[in-house]
Amino acid sequence: MLNEEVVKNIIDSADEDERDVLTRREFVWLGGAAVGAIYLGAIGYPVYEYLSTPAQRSAEAAAVTQTTLDNAANLPKSSAMMFKFGARPAMLIHHEDGSWSAFNAVCTHLGCTVKYEPEQSRIFCACHGGTYDPRTGANVAGPPPKPLTKFNVEVKDASVIISRA
């Protein structure tokens, strides 16, 4: 009887040890669940950002009304510089004729950051090919539904003051 109890205890402890090891089926299921969770995160996050940020951006944008760029008046003609207007990217353009333009640098299509291309005289969004006029911010080609938000520009000594239009 003692031997039967010892054998039973050994078998019970072996069953407990085996329960700690994943079966092939459990391993494949957990791997598939992990891949699915990563996929959902990769798809879900951009969708969440797309749907939730307009209200957040509006509140954030209303908080800042003006910013000063020191030494920006020295920016060469036919060039641009990026800066932050509040927490959002913005762009200051010094045109060949000496005039200035400033815009919110976020594409109105899906929120990618745009860049100035002086060779083509355009503001371009590389995400989906959106093109904007560098003087007015009007959407010229591609999928953007609205023009870029334009800011007022005032040059004072070596500084450039950017404010809401």
% helix / strand / coil in the chain, to the nearest 5? 35, 30, 30
Q: Say yes or no to pLDDT of 16 above 60.
A: no
Q: How far apart are the C-alpha atoms of 13 and 155, rounded to whole Å?
A: 82
Give this prediction's pTM: 0.62
Q: How far apart are the C-alpha atoms of 98 and 48, rounded to whole Å?
A: 42
Where do the domains of the chain lie, and which CATH numbers do they carry? 2-62 (no CATH), 65-164 (2.102.10.10)
How confident is the model over 117-153, as pLDDT tens digits? 989 989 999 988 899 999 999 999 988 889 999 999 9
The per-residue pLDDT of the chain, averaged, comes to 83
- Mean pLDDT confidence for 8-27: 70
The residue behind tokens 């938000």 is 149
